[in-house]
Amino acid sequence: MMKLYKNLFVLIIGVFLLSGCEGYLSKDPIGLLTPDQVDMQPTTTTVQYAVSSSYQLLSSTLNIIGEWGWNDGTVTRGDFILQDIASDDVQKKWNPDGDQAWMDEFNNFSFIASNGGFNGQWAYNYEGISRVNTAIDYLTDEEMMAKLNFNKTEQNRLLGEVYFLRAFYYFDLVTNFGGVPLLLKPLTSFNEAYEVAVRATADGVWAQIDKDLNDARSLLPDAKYSHQQEKWRVPKGAVIALQAKVALFNERWQDVITFVEELENSGYYNLNDNYFDSFDVNKQFQEQEVIFCYDHESAQTPRKGNGLCALLGWGFVAPEASFIAAFEDNDPRLLYTVDVESRNINKILGTLDGEFKGDDDAPSSRVYIRYADVLLWKAEALLKTGKLQAAIGIINRVRQRARNSMAADGTWPPAGTLPDRDINESNVAVISNWLIHERRVELGFESHRFRDLKRWGIAEEVLGSRGFQGVHYLYPIPQREIDKSGGSIVQNEGY
């Protein structure tokens, strides 16, 4: 019997795993099915929309969840708070003024489990997972697919996309919170919601991520873009890249090398000639480096723009002094990342003239995985396996691209800028410091630094003066999720 159409927002979001604005808590749980929400005859469009809507929670579009829920952390996706402001790269504002003080608590590690930032990140990820699970439920219902005469090639591709997305959302959850509830199907009753309101182990979550990625890569086509007209969709390269990243975070060094070499051998990706091309709004899907991004678009209904650009207009997201000081003389990457004089975060805006600053519907993409990042994973794995010269070679390749990029002001870096590291260096500690430095300046404001510091085990050393302690290697489970579960979801130690 064909399965009933399940509304894309499923029960668990409102019951345990999604905290919306305070006003929502007195209403029926978001996604609780009512008769007018049940479609007895799903269409091909229903299935396709179930997949496309699963991407939405990766966007920086404003108010995807709730309506101006600042204190709930739901106005926009919070990677820039939990990863960038928490690192030593970013502070909340150019001139602190008390606005959204809960964000400042990430900069000085004074937060507690009720901080809205945790609720927001949890909510975005589990809303994404709920939509993914609905899409998977459709796409794996062969009776439904047959009755719809659904194209088998499209079915496999869409299923590959959502398996990747579920892995992506769970990667964010496990690296932020450790073990979390593992939801693998839509929930249709309160009893089901109660049954899953318990944390899986971190190992169990990682195992599910591995399974989803293996399933995804077997289903997606061998091409740079899985869909030639909709290039924003998950490609097979993104799956392989995330497999490499999962291996990196679990210190499976040879797997990292193997996966990255698959990407290298595919011929689909390379370093762009100019550093900024990965972020330039005029070169989206016309360059070689971006492997996975969320493609924001202006003037869409419903809205699909980069709302984070609006916050930049009010002074949010500013560089730390130590971030600026980390750049070597004449490194073009500094101005391409942040124009201090004009107070523009160029990477987020996607332009060099501040055009979209203050625009809540900007077209700049949110870049999640790009080739330079991937190459530096391989350099790290090579270093860990004793292949020092090969690791240094990759670092030098990234530096070479940077020094050969025309600067944002239209000038060329002078001779001697960003010289190669000594290929014969044999001190592992020295090479490690080169890698740490290169990742910081190459990937600044891309939400990687905080996770890097934690997985390297140096977060206390780097951030200790600002309040980071051992307990902060994991964030707390949002307190309201603990409360709504009646204690069946157990809090992380120290919170």
DSSP string, 62-77: TTSSSSS-GGGT-SS-
Residue 201 covered by a domain: yes
pLDDT grade for 276, boundaries at 50, 70 and 90: very high
State how far the Cα of 461 lies from the Cα of 418, in Å rounded to an integer.
Answer: 26
Residue 240 covered by a domain: no
Same domain, 182 and 317: no
Same domain, 262 and 203: no
Region 187-194 average pLDDT: 79
Same domain, 262 and 379: yes
Same domain, 177 and 271: no
Same domain, 135 and 268: no
Region 424-438 average pLDDT: 98
Q: 390: which 2 tokens?
A: 């090969």
Same domain, 187 and 310: no
pLDDT over 70 (residue 28):
no
Same domain, 314 and 205: no
Residue 488 covered by a domain: no
Same domain, 260 and 211: no
Same domain, 266 and 380: yes
pLDDT of residue 486: 86
Residue 469 covered by a domain: no
Residue 226 covered by a domain: no
Neighbours of 353 (CB within 10 A): 12
* Model pLDDT for residues 314-324, shown as the tens digit of each residue: 899 999 999 99
pTM equals 0.93
Same domain, 333 and 212: no
pLDDT of residue 29: 38
pLDDT over 50 (residue 189):
yes
Helix (H) or strand (E) holding 322: helix 321-325
- With a pLDDT cut of 70, the percent of the chain lying above it is 92
Residue 454 covered by a domain: no
pLDDT over 80 (residue 85):
yes
Region 185-190 average pLDDT: 84
pLDDT over 70 (residue 74):
yes
* Model pLDDT for residues 403-418, shown as the tens digit of each residue: 999 999 999 999 999 9
pLDDT of residue 18: 37
Residue 225 covered by a domain: no
What's the chain's average pLDDT? 92
pLDDT over 70 (residue 312):
yes
Domain limit, last residue, from 167, 201, 220:
220
- DSSP β-bridge partners for residue 367: 293
Q: Measure CA 53 to chain center.
A: 16
Residue ranges in 250-307 assigned as alpha helix (H): 253-266
DSSP 397-432: HHHHHHHTSPPTTSPPPPTTSSPPP-TT---HHHHH
Among 39-48, 181-190, 393-402, top mean pLDDT goes to 393-402
pLDDT of residue 40: 57
CATH of the domain at 264: 1.25.40.390
pLDDT of residue 2: 39
pLDDT of residue 196: 87
Range of the domain at 9: 1-220
Cβ(421)–Cβ(410) under 8 Å?
A: no
Of 176, 199, 131, 241, the C-alpha closest to 475 is: 176
Higher-scoring residue by pLDDT: 492, 487: 492
DSSP 27-88: SSPTT---GGG--SS--HHHHHHHHHGGGGGGS--TTSSSSS-GGGT-SS--HIIIIIITTT
Q: 389: which 2 tokens?
A: 């010269």
Taking each helix axis from N to C end, the angle separating 152-177 and 116-139, rounded to the nearest 10 degrees, works out to: 160
Q: In one letter, which amino acid is 215? A: D
* Model pLDDT for residues 331-389, shown as the tens digit of each residue: 999 999 999 999 999 999 999 999 999 999 999 999 999 999 999 999 999 999 999 99
Q: 93: which 2 tokens?
A: 């504002």
Count of domains for the chain: 2
Residue ranges in 152-235 assigned as alpha helix (H): 152-177, 190-196, 202-219
Region 75-97 average pLDDT: 96
Q: 484: which 2 tokens?
A: 């709504």
DSSP 232-253: TSPPHHHHHHHHHHHHHHTT-H
pLDDT of residue 194: 77
pLDDT over 50 (residue 126):
yes
pLDDT of residue 192: 81
pLDDT over 50 (residue 25):
no
Same domain, 47 and 193: yes
pLDDT of residue 39: 52
CB proximity list for 361: less than 8 A, separation 6 or greater:
298, 299, 303, 305, 306, 307
Residue 379 covered by a domain: yes
The dihedral built from the CA positions of residue 337, 342, 343 and 349, taken in this order, carries a sign that is: negative
pLDDT grade for 144, boundaries at 50, 70 and 90: very high
According to DSSP, residue 92 is labeled E
Same domain, 17 and 76: yes
Higher-scoring residue by pLDDT: 357, 40: 357
Region 275-288 average pLDDT: 98
